[in-house]
C-alpha cells in the first residue's frame, strides 16, 4: 500500500479515506493518532493490524464537540463529573471513560463495557472529525511498544506502506498522550497521567484517585484497569536505565561509564558536565518542555545506532512530570538504580 502524505489543505482527502474505512495518521495536540471510523469495526481492526497492537487494548474515541457524545449515542448516561471536567478541560488532553452503548464496536472497547472519549483541541484533528462526520478511534500512531510519534515523520518511520495516509499538521504541542480518567464507577480514578495534571483534576472534582499502575509495575495476576498500562511501552531499542539521586551523583555515575555506546538523557544544565553523548529534555524543572521533547528524544537516540544504554534521571512526579515519569519508567522496564545505595 502506498501511504499518501497530506498537508493541511487536504483535510477532505483524509476525511474521504476515513469515511471509506481507511486508516489515516492525524495530528493532535498530544501525539499523532492512527485514526479510523470508530463506528466501523472492520476499519478499526486495521488499526490493530498496522500497529501490531494486542486486541485486548481498547482505543480512545475522538469527537469534535461535547454534543457528539449524545448525537452518536456513545454512552448510556453522561455523568455529572464528565460535564464538569469537559467544561474545564475540553477540548484538550483529557480522556474520560464512561459506560458505553452497543453503538461502540467490540474492536474499540476490546470487550469492556466502557468507552474512552476525548475531544482534542488541535484544529486539524477537529476539522478531520467534522469532515468525516463520525467519531474517530485513534491510538498513538506508532508501532506497538515503541515511542509515540509527535511528528508526521515519526509516523512515516513506523507506518509507511501500512496505512492509507498521514496528514502533516506540525509537531504535537503536549508531546505525551492524554490523561485518562475513569468515571465509570466509584471515585474518579486516573489510569494514565498526561497533559491535564492530577492536581488540576482534584481542583475541579475534589477527590480523585491515582491507579497503582501509574507509578508501579503491575503484580503478576492483577487485572489492569487500563489494559495499555500492563505492556512494556514507549521503549527505544537502546536499554533505558533510570537513576535516582542528586544531580551531581547522576553526573558522576554517568561519567564513570563514559563510552561510545552510552548516552545521557538529561537537562540543559547538565550539558557542560557530562562526558558522554547527550540528549536534553530541556531546562531542569520545566516539565511541560520535557513532556514535549520526550518521545522525539527517545526516537533520536535510536537513530544513533552505536548507543546501547541510555541513562536518565528518575523524573519528578509533580504536575506534568508525572506523565514523563510514567512513560520513562515503562521505557526502562521499571529498572531504577538508587544512587544512594551503590
List residues near ligand AMP by CB under 6 A. Answer: 57-60, 97, 109, 112, 114-116, 139-140, 177, 180, 191-192, 226-229
Sheet holding 4-6, edge to edge: 4-6, 165-167, 24-26, 33-37, 136-137, 60-62, 114-118, 94-99, 179-182, 189-192, 209-210
Using DSSP's 3-state secondary structure scheme, residue 118 falls into strand
* Rounded-to-integer distance, Cα 134 and Cα 102, Å: 16
66 exposed, middle or buried (CB, 10 Å; 0-12, 13-18, 19+)? middle
197 binds, among Mg ion, ligand AMP, none (CB under 5 to 8 A by kind): none
* Residue 180, binding choice from Mg ion, ligand AMP, none, Cβ under 5 to 8 Å by partner class: ligand AMP
Partner touching 114 among Mg ion, ligand AMP, none, CB below 5 to 8 Å by kind: ligand AMP
Cβ-based nearer residue to Mg ion, 134 or 140 = 140
| Nearest-approach distance from CB 85 to ligand AMP, in angstroms | 16
Nearer to ligand AMP, 214 or 251 (CB): 214
Contact partner, 59, from ligand AMP, Mg ion, none, Cβ < 5-8 Å per class? ligand AMP
Burial of 193 (0-12, 13-18, 19+ CB in 10 A): buried
Selection from ligand AMP, Mg ion, none that 276 binds (CB < 5 to 8 A by kind) is none
Per the structure block, which three cell numbers stand in for 293?
521533547
User: Binding string to Mg ion for residues 83 to 122, with x set by CB under 5 A, is what?
Assistant: ----------------------------------------
Cell of 274: 557530562
Q: Which residue is nearest to ligand AMP (CB)?
A: 228
CB of 250 to Mg ion, least distance (A): 29
Q: What are phi and psi of 303, to 5 degrees?
A: -70, -25
Instruction: Provide the minimum distance between the beta carbon of 251 and Mg ion in the complex, in angstroms, as a whole number.
Output: 32
CA dihedral sign, ordered 251, 253, 254, 258: positive
> Which element (helix H / strand E) includes 201?
helix 198-205
Give the shortest CB-55-to-ligand AMP separation in angstroms: 12
What nine digits make up the cell of 193?
497521567
**Partner interacting with residue 116 (select from ligand AMP, Mg ion, none; CB below 5-8 Å by kind):** ligand AMP
Query: How many angstroms from the chain centroid is the CA of residue 187?
Result: 23
Report the nearest approach of ligand AMP to the CB of residue 112 (Å).
Answer: 5
Q: Does 312 bind Mg ion (CB under 5 A)?
A: no
Smallest gap from residue 223 Cβ to ligand AMP (A): 11
Instruction: Give the one entry of ligand AMP, Mg ion, none that residue 57 binds, where binding means its C-beta sits below a cut-off of 5 to 8 angstroms depending on kind.
Output: ligand AMP
Q: Which of 292, 285, 294 is nearest to 319 (CA)?
A: 285
Contact of residue 134 among Mg ion, ligand AMP, none (CB under 5-8 Å per partner type)? none
* Rounded distance between C-alpha atoms, residue 34 and residue 165, angstroms: 10
Residue 140 or 179: which CB sits closer to Mg ion? 140
CA separation for the pair 35, 136 (Å, rounded): 6
Q: 292 φ, ψ to 5°? A: -65, -35
- Contact with Mg ion (CB under 5 A) among 81, 114, 121, 140: 140
Residue nearer to Mg ion on the CB measure, 181 or 267: 181
Closest residue by beta carbon to Mg ion: 140
Please give the residue ranges that form the binding site for Mg ion (CB under 5 A): 140
Amino acid at each position: 500500500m502506498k501511504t499518501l502524505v497530506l498537508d493541511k489543505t487536504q483535510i477532505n482527502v483524509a476525511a474521504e479515506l476515513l469515511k471509506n474505512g481507511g486508516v489515516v495518521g492525524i495530528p493532535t495536540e498530544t501525539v499523532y493518532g492512527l485514526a479510523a471510523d470508530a463506528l466501523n469495526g472492520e476499519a478499526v481492526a486495521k488499526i490493530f493490524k498496522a500497529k501490531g497492537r494486542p486486541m485486548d487494548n481498547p482505543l480512545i474515541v475522538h469527537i469534535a464537540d461535547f454534543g457528539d457524545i449524545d448525537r452518536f449515542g456513545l454512552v448510556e448516561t453522561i455523568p455529572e463529573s464528565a460535564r464538569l471536567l469537559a467544561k474545564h478541560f475540553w477540548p484538550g488532553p483529557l480522556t474520560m471513560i464512561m459506560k458505553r452503548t452497543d453503538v461502540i464496536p467490540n474492536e474499540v472497547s476490546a470487550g469492556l463495557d466502557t468507552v474512552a472519549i476525548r475531544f482534542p483541541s488541535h484544529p486539524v484533528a477537529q476539522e478531520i472529525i467534522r469532515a468525516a462526520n463520525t467519531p474517530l478511534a485513534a491510538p498513538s500512531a506508532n508501532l506497538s511498544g515503541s515511542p509515540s510519534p509527535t511528528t508526521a515523520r515519526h509516523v512515516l518511520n513506523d507506518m509507511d506502506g501500512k496505512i492509507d495516509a498521514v496528514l502533516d499538521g506540525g509537531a504535537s504541542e503536549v508531546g505525551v498522550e492524554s490523561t485518562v480518567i475513569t468515571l465509570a464507577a466509584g471515585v474518579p480514578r486516573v489510569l494514565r497521567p498526561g497533559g491535564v495534571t492530577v492536581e488540576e483534576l482534584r481542583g475541579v472534582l475534589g477527590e480523585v484517585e491515582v491507579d497503582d499502575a501509574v507509578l508501579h509495575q503491575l503484580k503478576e495476576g492483577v487485572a489492569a484497569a487500563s489494559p495499555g498500562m500492563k505492556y512494556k511501552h514507549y521503549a527505544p531499542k537502546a536499554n533505558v536505565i533510570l537513576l535516582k539521586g542528586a544531580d551531581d551523583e547522576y553526573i558522576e555515575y554517568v561519567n564513570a561509564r563514559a563510552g561510545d555506546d552510552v548516552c545521557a538523557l538529561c537537562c540543559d544544565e547538565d550539558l557542560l558536565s557530562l562526558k558522554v553523548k547527550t540528549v536534553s529534555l530541556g531546562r531542569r524543572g520545566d516539565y511541560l518542555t520535557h513532556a514535549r521533547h520526550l518521545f522525539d528524544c527517545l526516537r533520536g537516540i535510536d537513530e544513533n545506532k552505536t548507543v546501547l544504554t541510555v541513562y536518565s534521571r528518575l523524573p519528578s512526579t509533580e504536575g506534568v512530570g508525572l506523565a514523563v515519569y510514567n512513560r520513562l519508567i515503562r521505557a526502562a522496564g521499571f529498572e531504577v538504580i538508587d544512587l544512594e545505595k551503590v
